Amino acid sequence: MPSGGLVGGQYQPLIGQEIERIHEAGLRILESTGTKVHNQQSFEVFEDQGAIVDKETRTVKIPRSMVEEALASAPSRVTLCGRQDEHDLILEDRRVYLGTGGTAVNVLDLDGMRRQSILKDVAQLARLVDALDNIHFYVLPVYPHDLPKEKVDVNRFYAGLSNTSKHVMGGIYTREGTLNVIRMAEEIAGGAEHLRKRALVSFITCLVSPLMMDDHYGGLLLEVAKEGLPVVLSVEPLCGATAPVTLAGNLTLWAAEVLSGVVLTQLVNPGTPAIAGYVGTITDMRTMGYLAGPIEAGLLSAGAAQLSHFWEIPLYATAGMSDSLVPDSQAGYESALTTLLVALSGANFVHDAAGLLEFALTASYEKYVIDNEINGMVMRALQGIEMSDDAMAIDVIQQVGPGGDFVGERHTVKHMRSEFFFPLLANRKKLAAWEAEGSKDARERANEIAREILTTHEPLPIPGEVKARVGELLGVAEVG
């Protein structure tokens, strides 16, 4: 069974004309209310291209025609590449991939200690993900507190790239850091042209709810778009706080916000691989706190997937997080339910689907292993039921007949390895055998698997001459 890229779309929370209604409402909001653009260069791009601007309030009103032209210009297929071809992600239509997310500020390590994350965690988690088949990409999941801000970008990306051959995506913090990451990736890819053909890295930028582009991320968005590399337009509308309390209102606001970002990328550089980003959720109405694992978050990302399919642009969606403080049953059911809903919706690049606890503040080493198992089961659900004549097995049923069995049939041998999901973590042993092996629960077994991977797994190395050039040019730290 293929690990990633299976086709979703079986689950559709929006029905009939509801998608078009949200789309039309988003267009009306952009035309009549507009968005505030605090980055001067971005503001001037909109003004020069014919948007209606108010320099005093920094408001930009975007006409319908400008949005339609941008959607026509933005690629409907975006390929995010790994250092090995087998890890390439083809984001189009309803193809689904599941992976990590962040950026968490703490880790729950394998000794059970909750502490601030450091650069070594970025590298170690990349190594762990590299060995877990059902985690398809590596969004840099934690912040390295042991580095000064100006060194974070290039060192985070290098720690990821040098410890996994899967695609690496991350948020960015400074203009210089972003450009250094691009230079480093060009060295690893074999040159600037090679990187544009095979994007080993991609970038996350942020739009601010409700209806704002801030100065800092507006500038970073421009830099990535100018370079023609894949960029996520991440928006986080929170029901009842920065967005209407209703799910439909949340999606309507998001539609306007993310379309404004798509327009900007295409005005700056037509054809920029723009990925719509949905990271919204609900607010806990009892405390007004952020929630990472509610079932409504799955519904919202599924709705965003339907909108992205309507626009024919890829979606960076959210699923798999938990508000639990430890990898317990709550973490399991919250992560599993949202991941299943969002994958079945056909969202393309489902991030946060591994490792995150405590309202996305903490990354758990053990939970990466647990979520790898959840993701494998989810992908098996996407595979569905094959209905070929061979799979229906009419001839075999007739041959075996009443009262027989199928254990020794060629048909069984042919299909037994491909028809089922085989878990790495789950216990399927009888009670006596489980007790004889120490009566370990899933968290304990996940801890052992993670330790084994980090002790024995060797990711694809970056060539020594490339390491030397990157170290000399950009001063990156070698960590593993």
Q: What is the pLDDT of residues 248-270, one digit of tens each?
A: 999 999 999 999 999 999 999 99
Dihedral (Cα; 29, 30, 32, 34), 10-degree rounding: 110
**CA 393, chain centre distance (Å):** 38
Contact indicator for 10, 344 with CB cutoff of 8 Å: yes
Bridge partner residues of 79 (DSSP): 90
Q: Is the pLDDT of residue 383 over 70?
A: yes
Residue with tokens 């690049």: 349
Mean pLDDT throughout 160-180? 97
Question: Could you give the CA distance from residue 476 to residue 467 in angstroms, rounded to a whole number?
Answer: 9
The pLDDT tens digits of the residues spanning 235-244 come to 999 999 999 9
pLDDT for 473:
86
The pLDDT tens digits of the residues spanning 293-312 come to 999 999 999 999 999 999 99
Tokens of 286: 């009892």
Q: Is the pLDDT of residue 478 over 90?
A: no
Mean pLDDT throughout 91-114? 97
Mean pLDDT throughout 347-358? 98
**pLDDT range class, residue 475, cuts 50, 70, 90:** confident
pLDDT for 244:
98
pLDDT for 479:
82
Return mean pLDDT, the chain: 97
Q: Is the pLDDT of residue 1 over 60?
A: no
The pLDDT tens digits of the residues spanning 15-54 come to 999 999 999 999 999 999 999 999 999 999 999 999 999 9
**pLDDT range class, residue 451, cuts 50, 70, 90:** very high
* Superfamily (CATH) of domain 6-15+71-383: Trimethylamine methyltransferase-like (3.20.20.480)
pLDDT for 17:
97
pLDDT for 477:
78
The pLDDT tens digits of the residues spanning 189-207 come to 999 999 999 999 999 999 9
**Angle at the Cα of 79 from the Cα atoms of 460 and 100, rounded to 5 degrees:** 60
pLDDT for 480:
73
Q: What percentage of the chain reaches a pLDDT higher than 90?
A: 98
**pLDDT range class, residue 283, cuts 50, 70, 90:** very high
Q: What percentage of the chain reaches a pLDDT higher than 70?
A: 100
pLDDT for 376:
97
Question: Could you give the CA distance from residue 357 to residue 363 in angstroms, rounded to a whole number?
Answer: 6
Q: Is the pLDDT of residue 3 over 90?
A: no
pLDDT for 453:
98
pLDDT for 2:
58
Q: Residue 88 is which amino acid?
A: D
Q: Is the pTM of this model over 0.95?
A: yes
